[in-house]
Amino acid sequence: MKTFLFDLDGTLLSADENEFMHAYFGELTRALHGLLPAEGLASNILAATSRMQADTSPGSSNLVKFRREFEALYQGVDQQAVWDRIMEFYATTFDNVHDVMRRNEPLHRSVVYLREKGYRVLLTTNPIFPQLATYKRLAWAGFSSDTFEYISTMENCGYCKPNAAYWQHVATTMNVDPTQAIVVGNDCTEDMSARLVGIETYLVTDYVIGDAASSGADHVSD
């Protein structure tokens, strides 16, 4: 029986990447006013995230790796106060980002159908957000957290897509046979990297990131 692994942003959640980034960093910059300078904040967050993704050392969660990289860019500030403000942001004004995102109705119906038929359904969003932010985005897509057997977050993963170790972590943690699984996502690099561990791939092109023709996906569709 197949296990279905769904991406979130641009897949279950209809979202243009540029619109999301603009809204997200606008809200976060306002939330951190008075603690961190607005200039360079977005680029520093992206740099810390990139370094977190490149860090394949075992034993630490992505949350620990990100905080280590981000805090290294801001010496001499109250790091705990900054992180508390970030988490407060996710609990409150992050909701404003919902304005540029909506649930993907056909894929919402697909998840409901698969669950009704008894298939295993996992959420394999790239774990670059904390659980709170991930669960909120999942709600925007029309789901509760208990819809999925597994949801990857910064707290429970130490690897990111497109690293093969991410997919192996999910397969091992959830006892998934890669040859009996299929990943559904919109990113030609990150989501389609599941094939590195033998997982079948389905590229959704509504908000495709990358070149679908050279993605290597087993299936391609809007």
The string of DSSP codes covering 136-175 is: HHHHHTT--GGGSS-B--TTT-S--TT-HHHHHHHHHHTT
218 has pLDDT over 70: yes
If pLDDT is split at 50, 70 and 90, which confidence band does 150 have?
very high
Q: What would the mean pLDDT of 118-147 be, rounded to a whole number?
A: 97
State pLDDT tens for residues 130-142: 999 999 999 999 9
Write out the two tokens for 96: 């404003």
Write out the two tokens for 60: 């630490």
State pLDDT tens for residues 65-108: 999 999 999 999 999 999 999 999 999 999 999 999 999 999 99
Q: Among candidates 154, 141, 147, which has minimal Cα distance to 186? A: 141
> Would you state the pLDDT for residue 222?
84
Burial class (CB in 10 A: 0-12, 13-18, 19+), 118: exposed
Using an 8 Å Cβ cutoff, are 108 and 14 in contact?
no
> Would you state the pLDDT for residue 1?
65
8 has pLDDT over 70: yes
State pLDDT tens for residues 37-77: 999 999 999 999 999 999 999 999 999 999 999 999 999 99
Q: What would the mean pLDDT of 4-20 be, rounded to a whole number?
A: 95
Q: Rounded mean pLDDT of the chain? A: 96
